[in-house]
Structure 1
Amino acid sequence: MNKLVIILLLPFLINQPSTEKVIAKQGQVSFFSYTSVEHIKAENNQVSSVIDLKTGEIAVSMLMNAFVFEKALMRQHFNESYIESDIYPKAIFQGKIFDFDPNIEGIQTRIVKGKFSMHGATKELEIKAKIEKTENDEFVVTGTFEAMVRDYGIKIPPLLKGNIAKTISVDFNFKYEPYES
């Protein structure tokens, strides 16, 4: 009998707004490579993310070919030669925000741990993030982490090794709103 009630209510439960999840539909991720030869900066404003407020679980998905560079040639080299976005179109992060309390107004600094997958490689990350709950019950999550180029199997030709840093600085900024399924 209990199973029958659950099956009958399932369509109703699925269509109810979820106050336990928040979504960022247009998050921002940027990266910066600093060398004495050349600086490379790119921004991506087509990044989506979801946080389960009850469990602290977080997921991020970003299209790699959506990065915008100062020079068109940089974008072409990034997508064709380094990231190979036709083969590896997305980067994914799945993890958890530790000690996160969605009821706290204002700013919390928390550790986010999880797995970041890019260019066919997956690495464990631990990121310090600032989480701000706004007056409108929205959440703004920001932070920075370092990514080692070699950890993701990205090959840089010897002639260009001086143009691209071994460690890339990555910044993120997400504004989450209540998710409605």
Structure 2
Amino acid sequence: MKHISIILLAWMSLFQTGQGLYMCKNAEISLFSSAPIEDIAAKTSSGQSVYNSGTGDLVFSVAINTFKFPKSLMQEHFNSDYLESDKYPHATFKGKIQEHPDLTKNGTYPITVTGVLDVHNVKQNRTIPGTLTVNNGTITMKSEFMVKCVDHHIDIPRLVFHNIAESIKMNVTATYTAAK
């Protein structure tokens, strides 16, 4: 967790200081894989993010080993066999929101974020749709998108190929407060 905070602080130092900088220290991220034998689901509330409303820059980081599964064996295989969290401890996203929503007005705005998703030490250019909601000064971003295992060199052994889908559905919800 300390490593993630250092990463985000480093990113913050690159951003303009003052008004327009928002932080989230407890983004909720879930993953879901539907497969014929058994569905796989996991959640974490440990995602961290920084958003600069002046530039549109958006950065996310999550420690892989913070995802919790309903079955401990699933969690063990996820960390050791598939995501190799000892070797690749974090997933990150660095991008830019293309739209410029008016953060002074309550409402829900469609957004598109373009950037680089780094999972399993494999970087992929991505365009991810989402929503940004403003409610009395509180900013919440939500997104649902798919991640293909093959795109990030996550190998699925043939023996368990029917247990795990080739694409994993990701849901992200982050609520931001102004940085001080």
Same fold (TM over 0.5): yes
Q: Which residue of 2 aligns with 1:121?
A: 122
Question: Secondary structure in 2 aligned to 1:160?
Answer: helix
Q: Which amino acid aligns with 2:109?
A: Q
How far residue 168 of structure 1 moved from its aligned partner, in angstroms, is 0.6
Gap runs ≥5 in structure 1:
1-16
Q: Which amino acid aligns with 1:128?
A: P
Instruction: Name the count of aligned residue pairs.
Output: 163
Q: Which residue of 1 aligns with 2:55?
A: 55
**1:14-33 correspondence to structure 2 within 5 Å:** 18-33=18-33
Q: TM-score if structure 2 supplies the norm length?
A: 0.88
Question: Secondary structure in 2 aligned to 1:96?
Answer: strand
Contact 1:18 / 1:178 at 8 angstroms: preserved in 2?
A: no
Q: Which residue of 2 aligns with 1:131?
A: 132
**1:1-181 correspondence to structure 2 within 5 Å:** 18-101=18-101, 102-135=103-136, 137-180=137-180
Contact 1:147 / 1:167 at 8 angstroms: preserved in 2?
A: yes
Q: TM-score if structure 1 supplies the norm length?
A: 0.88
Gap runs ≥5 in structure 2:
1-16
How far residue 173 of structure 1 moved from its aligned partner, in angstroms, is 0.2
Q: Structure 1 residue runs of 4+, over 6 Å off?
A: none
1:65-110 deviations in Å (ceiling 9; x for gaps)? 0000010000000000000000000001000011122334211001
How far residue 138 of structure 1 moved from its aligned partner, in angstroms, is 1.4
Higher strand share: 1
